[in-house]
Amino acid sequence: MFPFFFFCLVVPAGAAIVTLSNGDQLSGTIIRENEKEITLRHKVLGILIIPRSKLQSKPETDQGQTGTVLHESVSAGIKKTASQPGKSRPVKSRLFGFDFFEGWTHHLAAGIKGEEGNDVSMDSSIAYDAAFNDQAHRLALTSAYYYETKDRNKDTSKGHVNVVRDWLLPESEWFYYSYLRYEYDSFKSWKHRVSLSGGCGYDFYRRENFELSGRVGLGGSRTWGTENDYAPEGLFGFEWTWKPLKPESHTLSAEFIVYPDLDDAGEYRTWAQGKWRISFSSLRGFGIELGFEHEYESIIKDKLENENHYDLIYFGRFGVDF
């Protein structure tokens, strides 16, 4: 229904330098611009929404780094880098030396907790997130894996990978999207599940410190394991992000998705996640994150012993942005 090539990645747009009316300059990637404002993704400050009234009316033409020259943009106060004829453009790599990841943000976190007394337990988790935004696209990859033991026996082994791609429409709050989710759970009647959906979304509110979006669509899921089944599904969901303090040391975010079963009226499953991420500016991107994940299925086919309708996991992890 929705081909997997929807998830192919894009090459990031060139960097831009925005000159404010007071002469200050900000560098980053322009996500969106219109007659009133531009939205800039800054490496340190995050998403910035700058009114055009605050831009320098006549930007200076300036010489950039070796091999590049800065040119005026069509929009006043914005300068974008372009290759200078006859010279190679230096590439700033973002991850493991590959310029393919230039323009992406990355977050890696891990946590572990042990307890020994009447019971012996060990809980561990690891998560990796990546995101890229430009004027035409938003891409996000989120993943997590949890492993827990009780009395030295495996009690939980599960994980997931989400890949979301949004196609933005010029001068509009509407967008199209594709959403791929892979799940693994060793204690379910299914061991692996892949869900693929696509549809349209709407940015209800998108400012520097708060974002709220919703999405609706159609798709399906396929399970493998004790239970092998395909089910056509709908998708209704929303996600929000709030950065209450400046500088952006605290980030609160949440996502909630409902998958109604189109073959069995009234049946559905849900997935929700909430995070509170605290970054320590003095530690070069290091921080901590606290949160939860919750899953619910209204009906369980071929139910295994001790299999529940819902799973709730709390987590605490140390992480780093790079």
Q: Using the predicted structure, report yes or no on whether residue 302 has a pLDDT greater than 90.
A: no
Q: Which CATH number fits domain 12-83: 3.30.70.260, 3.10.20.30, 2.30.30.100, 3.40.50.970?
A: 2.30.30.100
Q: Is the pTM of this model over 0.75?
A: no
CB-based burial label for 121 (10 Å; 0-12, 13-18, 19+): middle
Report the mean per-residue pLDDT for the chain: 78
Sign of CA dihedral 10, 15, 19, 23: positive
Q: What is the pLDDT of residue 290?
A: 95
Q: Using the predicted structure, report yes or no on whether residue 176 has a pLDDT greater than 60.
A: yes
What residues contact 34, with CB distance under 8 A and at least 6 apart?
Answer: 171
pLDDT digits (tens, 9 = 90+) for 18-64: 888 888 888 887 877 777 788 887 777 777 888 888 887 543 333 33
Compute CA 31 distance to the chain's CA centroid, rounded to the nearest angstrom. 15
For the chain, domain boundaries: 12-83, 108-321
Q: What is the pLDDT of residue 118?
A: 59
Same fold, 12-83 and 108-321: no
| CATH code that applies to domain 108-321 | 2.40.160
Lowest mean pLDDT across 4-8, 104-108, 179-183: 4-8
pLDDT digits (tens, 9 = 90+) for 106-122: 999 999 876 666 566 78
Q: Using the predicted structure, report yes or no on whether residue 65 has a pLDDT greater than 50.
A: no
Q: Using the predicted structure, report yes or no on whether residue 318 has a pLDDT greater than 90.
A: yes
User: Residue 247, preceding bond cis, omega within 30 degrees?
Assistant: yes
